[in-house]
Structure 1
């Protein structure tokens, strides 16, 4: 029996088409198997594809499964923002606050709307408090980004793993020259995960530098098929939380510009605050629809 599933694509963390990070969303994925979801994500060949299902708890808005090209993810930022935008555009009756079930927990969403009430984007809360992981040696991390050791800035912190519900990210402060020159070295990534047990067999680098009151960032994750990512919400939230952790302040807001070197400029608007549960962070941005289609299986 032939089955038909609709999908849409959009650009997330941008206010113009062909900027930001691409996302595909299947708004009604009922009937798709795990293997079919993974195959569709690989076929679409985007950094992530989401599949929306009814929530396990009726108090929540939806259950969302997020797949990259090779595996399901416990949480990811731009898929959560973009999926919320798609749900709001499809259902005018949704309120301004949503709750998405993902493997890492509950993602709280605040929708952004224009003067006419149409959804323009969303801010999402990472499903877990910040966890700061191991420090990493400079040399193998620099090699992964094709940089000399002196391109890594360690005055504030060494390269450090951090997460808040998604895969751990290696947060690396670099010089302006290093950020511009960085290129992922696949062989160095493979050596790093083979020789650094603290990585747990996976590695994505989030390089950043300070740019006035904001940050500039780049993200490399070639082991999952993402050579470079134009906007990474699940790296922006642990970075915002980690920088608050270092500062000792109670809360902070921070804009992160990413994707510039790729020709897909993105703006990720983050907040971080100290709570009784630890440091919690949010990331938000606007979205632009691009394609609509369907697949038959």
Structure 2
């Protein structure tokens, strides 16, 4: 049986099913459908990594509708791919979180590249593309295996290192750890988004950390640091090949399983402060999402020129889970 015969047989079977007829209210409420690709990002297996919907044909949607579709998905982000707006870019990619549009994010950028490859927009002959994000043009390097996209790298902004929290014991206590768990002063680092990077002694400490927002805010205020997302990591080796084990400490019971926009700053911090040796700076792997049972592998390539970090790339793979459409 060839694919056409199989399809006709399947269609005939579906036609014979006794499905309930749509009510007049359901029929009247049917709107235009917008196609999406559903992916798991920073993983090579389904039902792991970070979830993403990529709307590949969003023409007709306004900002409010894109925000509403993202809320409906209940995923941390969705992306909407538009024609380019800036010279030198190939696609305008708008990223929405549950509450607002975002100028920059990691897993939505990597996942969008895989969605466009799946849709046939990016082709095996292409070694790179440029997305127009809210922060500006973002270069994406593409690696193929046959006709399948195997890996994508996004170039993040050159890191900016901000204020530090020198009260390591106070910060450790604010996240429920012993005072010696924080091994160096935490620091603000920006490669597109700003995070407070917190190095911990062990993987056990990473797993045990709990965000107490009020206590953390008090420590940050005393240090003159704005409220930031806390990205904790340890370079303690485990049974895997990861360079670092990490979490983005969440509040309200929600924890991100893979945060590419924080892995760039964390990789930059680790290289700057000698937690990752220079000969391994181009092949850093952050293992995130283990506690929430969605393990993710985020690759970071930090290149230096002398004592300065010259560039930061964050990359990974993704797997398509399914396709569908949502109506508005």
Task: Give the equivalent residue in structure 2 for 1:184.
Answer: 211
Would you say the 8 A contact 2:268–2:309 is kept in 1?
no
Max radius of gyration: which structure? 2
Q: Distance in 2 between matches of 1:209 and 1:84?
A: 29
Question: TM-score with structure 1 length normalisation?
Answer: 0.87
Task: Give the equivalent residue in structure 2 for 1:107.
Answer: 138
Higher strand share: 1
Q: Distance in 2 between matches of 1:228 and 1:219?
A: 7
Task: Give the equivalent residue in structure 1 for 2:72.
Answer: 43
For residues 192 and 43 of structure 1, do their structure 2 counterparts lie closer, same or farther at Cα, with a shift above 3 Å needed?
A: farther
Give the one of 173, 196, 209 matched to 2:199.
173
Question: TM-score with structure 2 length normalisation?
Answer: 0.79
Task: Give the equivalent residue in structure 2 for 1:254.
Answer: 284
Task: Give the equivalent residue in structure 1 for 2:318.
Answer: 287
Task: Give the equivalent residue in structure 2 for 1:31.
Answer: 60
* Bigger shift: residues 141-150 or 278-287: 141-150
Q: Distance in 2 between matches of 1:186 and 1:284?
A: 30
Q: Distance in 2 between matches of 1:109 and 1:13?
A: 15
Q: Distance in 2 between matches of 1:106 and 1:208?
A: 29
Q: Distance in 1 between matches of 2:151 and 2:206?
A: 28
For the pair 1:125 / 2:155, whether they are aligned, the reply is yes
Give the one of 233, 245, 248 matched to 2:272.
245
Task: Give the equivalent residue in structure 2 for 1:61.
Answer: 90
**Structure 1, unaligned runs of 5 or more:** none
Q: Deviations over 1:147-186 (max 9, x none)?
A: 34332222xxx011101112x1111011223112123334
Task: Give the equivalent residue in structure 2 for 1:206.
Answer: 231
**Structure 2, unaligned runs of 5 or more:** 1-29
Q: Distance in 2 between matches of 1:253 and 1:186?
A: 33
Q: Distance in 2 between matches of 1:239 and 1:194?
A: 22
Give the one of 239, 250, 254 matched to 1:227.
254
TM-align CA RMSD: 2.6
